[in-house]
Amino acid sequence: MSRIDDLAPGLVHHIVNTLGWPGLRPLQEEAIAPLLAGEDAVLLAPTAGGKTEAASFPLLSKMAAERWSGTSVLYVCPLKALLNNLLPRLETYTAWLGRSAALWHGDIKDTGRKKILTGRPDVLLTTPESLEAMLVSANVDHYAFFAGLRAIVVDEVHAFAGDDRGWHLLAVLERLQRVVGHPVQRIGLSATVGNPRELLQWLQGSGAGERPGRVVAPYLVETRSASDRSSGPPPGDVQLDYVGSADNAARVIATLHRGEKRLVFCESRRLVEELGEKLRAKGVTTFLSHASLSVDERRRAEEAFAEARDCVIVSTSTLELGIDVGDLDRVIQIDAPATVASFLQRLGRTGRRSGTSRNCLFLALSEEGLLAAAALLLQWSRGWVEPVVAPPEPRHIVAQQMLALCLQEKQVGDQLWKEWWSGLGLFGQSAEPIVRHLVDEGYLDQDGGMLFIGPEAERRFGHRHFMNLTAVFTAAPEFTVLNGLSEIGRTDPSLLTEDVQGPRRLLLAGRSWQVTYIDWHRRRCFVEPVDGGGKAKWGGLGFVRATSYELTRAARDVLLGTEPQVRLTGRAVNCLAEARERFLEYVHPGGGTLIARRSDHDVRWWTWAGHRANATLAATLSTVTDPAQRINDCWIRLRGDLTPQMWKQTVADAADRLCLPTVHEQALKGLKFSTALPRRLAEATLAARLADLKGAAAVLKAPIRFTSALTGKVGRVGGSGGWMAGDVRATAGGVGWLSLSVCAG
């Protein structure tokens, strides 16, 4: 039975007559009853599944029926661009009932903010950082402004929950709920995830288990149970191709789908720039989008792309979320995204028009990229999606929140601060050592039983009215690039200091620019357009892309002959065959792992366990691993004098004592507010996040095979560290191997 009649009559009239909808979508139907009843909820649907309307229609109906006043609904998004895109729709829906919606984020001018503070729109669209800025601002009476708050909608909630912005959001919501003085309904909108029930409990924060909550997911297809996965891959026209280079990728994109609107995803800003330049050189109408382009540059590109037909927009993950760029014909993925969840978001950008289907073409630039894409597509075709898991032990966010609370309330009782987070995770009693450290180091002052902002917090975070305190992430320093008065974007400072022959040229916004002047003090770089020769580069804070245990294991399955249930081109088939031949001696067909001696100084343990599990294993077995190695996804370098007997003893000793990975100084620099923590707690926080204890334990329990490469004499192998010989096998290249299966479990 349809529930549309439970909505406000004015809304129903416009849904039928203005929008011309014959009825509501399943998600929109199923969301009405729990949201009208005031339940917390996570609404789950693919991109363009009608999630915004599923949340807003019942809330607006309840607003009208119960005569909510003031700003009663917050709509929180992770991206300002997504908020900008949503505003016209929510303005339309609220106007149908004589209500209003407005936008508040970092790009809104003072005049617009003053209008909001005096007019108090019924629905306020904002980011968590802007929400906290309102709480700490001397210009906002937050007790009065938020007095009528009844509900909070968190769009793309999965994008928050998987990183520290999620902890920041939850902590801000707990503070806001205390300001309001009553429970506030929480509604999360999400794409497909592997653990929606846990995501709902996470969103409920301190209210989990106390407040009613429901997952509404009529479209739940990709997260099928194991018993359902034999029915074939999820729907979608997906093809995997191997092209070998960015030049070839540009050639394929330029010729294969002429006349169509194509969205191309790349995994780095540098590749976006290089591919964009190559496509323009081939006469393709091309636009670019990534985080280091100016807001105006991105907006112009996205608007032009939305209105054009035969064109390409090349983007990083900035266009992965639900920003509307018009009707797409095709999504193209260069190499592989980091997660199946990201792929689902990108795949969902297509197939929105009647008579079309979701589609994605993968173009692998290397054997590594092809294997990563095949592994991801194998997991997708099995019906697997990553669970969204909040990063463990967010102590640095606890420190930031203590400072923000003291800034918000001016002073807080030194025994009462715990109540602001209602026992949420580490924000309660377990934060005592962090608070003591903040006082000892001068971040907080203490007097008469009250805590308030101290001189060290003023020095480190007080610039521009503590603006730096509301941003959770540390960004690498970049120079602003300007052509006259027009900002193009930002670039890595190393491009302005490295030695070059001839004029210094940059590649930005898909065009080459010659540097004419550098203002080192204000971190500005002035440029003029030139024909070619530009270079793109962005640095980071020392982090590497860490592939999960599940995806790395899937890559191993691919090497052992399993293929994803997608279309593979002849080039992809041939490249995979070559990879399987090359890795023949590094994959254990019985589900275990393999230790291979390539020389007296090169012994590798092929775990196929992912970066975090390998980091955990390297720390746990430190007596036999190479301490100078850089951890990767597939293998760990071991000592050259290792013997099977040494190995068995080391593994037996480590069976019940997995160790957390070592934390390097560079990694600590990327953990914002780590300076406000005791050093040991900052290191413990990062170590917990770098570890995969479950994956490491699974690897240690699996059988292990030892192999050693012959270099012409059997005696050399047998006498080098005591390696034992079993069956002798020969590779295609004629190199003999000796192997022995040894169970370490």
d(CA 556, CA 461): 46
The CB density around residue 495, as the number of other CB atoms within 10 Å, is 24
Closest CA to 481 of 470, 491, 495: 491
Closest among 86, 75, 101 to 155, alpha carbons compared: 75
- Three-class secondary structure of residue 338 per DSSP: coil
**Residue ranges of the alpha helices (H) in 196-350?**
196-204, 246-256, 269-281, 295-307, 340-347
CA distance between the termini of the chain: 57
pLDDT at residue 489 is higher than 80: yes
Reported as type and span, the H/E element at residue 126 is strand 123-126
pTM reported for the whole predicted model: 0.86
Three-point CA angle 214, 220, 225, nearest 5°: 100
SS3 13: helix
Query: Could you give phi then psi for residue 199, rounded to 5 degrees?
Result: -65, -40
Look at residue 1 in the predicted model and tell me its pLDDT: 58
**Type of residue numbered 569:** T
Look at the block and give the residue holding tokens 């649907």.
45
Q: Report the distance separating Cα 57 and Cα 263, nearest Å.
A: 31
Greatest CA span in the chain, whole angstroms?
A: 89
Q: What angle do CA 524, 528, 529 make, to 5 degrees?
A: 130
**What is the phi/psi pair of residue 20, to 5°?**
75, 25
Q: Looking up tokens 């069976």, which residue turns up?
A: 655
Does residue 354 carry a pLDDT above 80? no
Beta bridge partners of 289: 315
**What's the average model confidence in pLDDT over 333-337?**
97
Q: Name every residue whose Cβ is closer than 8 Å to that of residue 513 and which is 6 or more positions away in sequence.
A: 481, 483, 488, 505, 506, 507, 527, 528, 529, 530, 534
Please enumerate in sequence order all residues whose Cβ is within 8 A of that of 189, keeping only pairs 6 or more positions apart, or say none: 42, 43, 51, 52, 54, 55, 153, 154, 155, 156, 157
Write the DSSP string, 164-226. HHHHHHHHHHHHHHHHHTS--EEEEEE---S-HHHHHHHHHGGGTTTS-EEEE-TT--SS--G
How many angstroms separate the CA atoms of 575 and 367, rounded? Answer: 7
pLDDT at 712 over 70: no
User: What pLDDT sits at residue 220?
Assistant: 65
Burial class (CB in 10 A: 0-12, 13-18, 19+), 665: exposed
The pLDDT tens digits of the residues spanning 81-123 come to 889 889 999 999 999 999 999 999 988 888 999 999 999 999 9
| R_g of the chain, CA atoms, integer Å | 28
User: Which of the pair, 68 or 663, is modelled with greater confidence?
Assistant: 68
Banded pLDDT at 598 (limits 50, 70, 90): confident
CA distance 441 to 560: 55
How far, in Å, CA of 656 to CA of 7, rounded? Answer: 57
What was the pLDDT predicted at 673?
86
Domain spanning 227-381: CATH 3.40.50.300: yes
> At residue 243, does pLDDT exceed 70?
yes
Q: What is the pLDDT of residue 671?
A: 80
Q: What is the mean pLDDT of the chain?
A: 87
What pLDDT shows up at residue 542? 44
Counted residue by residue, the chain has a size of: 745
Instruction: Check whether 544 has a pLDDT greater than 70.
Output: no
Q: Are 532 and 510 in contact (CB under 8 A)?
A: no
Q: What's the average model confidence in pLDDT over 253-280? A: 94
- Order of strands, edge to edge, in the sheet holding 567-568? 286-289, 311-315, 261-265, 330-334, 359-364, 237-242, 567-568
| 656-659 own/partner pairs: CB under 8 Å, 24+ apart | 657/620, 658/616, 658/620, 658/691, 658/693, 658/696, 658/697, 659/616, 659/619, 659/620, 659/622
Q: Which two tokens stand for residue 368?
A: 């590594």
pLDDT at 291: 87
Quick: pLDDT tens for 445-454: 999 999 999 9
Q: Are 616 and 695 in contact (CB under 8 A)?
A: yes
Distances (CA, A) of 115 to 73, 112, 120: 17, 5, 8
What residues have CB less than 8 Å from 287, skipping those under 6 apart? 276, 301, 302, 304, 305, 311, 312, 313, 314, 510
Q: How confident is the model at residue 304 (pLDDT cuts 50, 70, 90)?
A: confident
Q: 544: buried, middle or exposed (CB in 10 Å: 19+, 13-18, 0-12)?
A: exposed
The larger pLDDT score, comparing residue 305 to residue 510, is at 510
pLDDT exceeds cutoff 80 at 476: no
Cβ distance 26 to 50 under 8 Å? no
Within 8 A by CB and 6+ apart from 735, the residues are 709, 710
- How far apart, in whole angstroms, are the C-alpha atoms of residue 389 and residue 35? 25
Rounded to 5°, the CA angle 242-243-244 comes to 100
Q: What is the number of other CB atoms lying within 10 angstroms of the CB of residue 589?
A: 11
- Quote the CA–CA distance of 466 and 407 in Å, as a whole number: 9
CA-closest candidate to residue 401, choices 618, 242, 174, 143:
174
Q: Where in the chain is the domain with CATH 3.40.50.300?
A: 4-216, 227-381
Calculate mean pLDDT across residues 357-368: 94
Beta strands at 450-453 and 444-447: parallel, antiparallel or unpaired: antiparallel
221 pLDDT higher than 70: no
In this predicted model, what pLDDT tens digit does every residue of 186-215 receive, in sequence order? 999 998 788 999 999 999 999 998 999 999
Amino acid at 634: C
Residue range 10-34: average pLDDT?
95
What does DSSP assign to residue 671?
A: S
What are the Cα distances from residue 134, in Å, to 11, 142, 144, 149, 591? 31, 7, 12, 14, 54
Range with the poorest average pLDDT among 107-111, 312-316, 371-375: 107-111
Query: What span, in angstroms and rounded, lies between the C-alpha atoms of 465 and 449?
Result: 26
CA dihedral 536→539→543→549, nearest 10 degrees, is 0
What separation in angstroms does the CA of 394 have from each of 97, 163, 308, 463, 658?
A: 42, 10, 44, 24, 21
Q: Which residue has the higher pLDDT, 122 or 226?
A: 122
Measured N-to-C along each axis, helices 51-66 and 26-36 cross at an angle, to the nearest 10 degrees, of 30
230: part of which helix (H) or strand (E)? none
β-strands 311-315, 261-265: how paired? Answer: parallel
CATH 3.40.50.300 fits 4-216, yes or no: yes
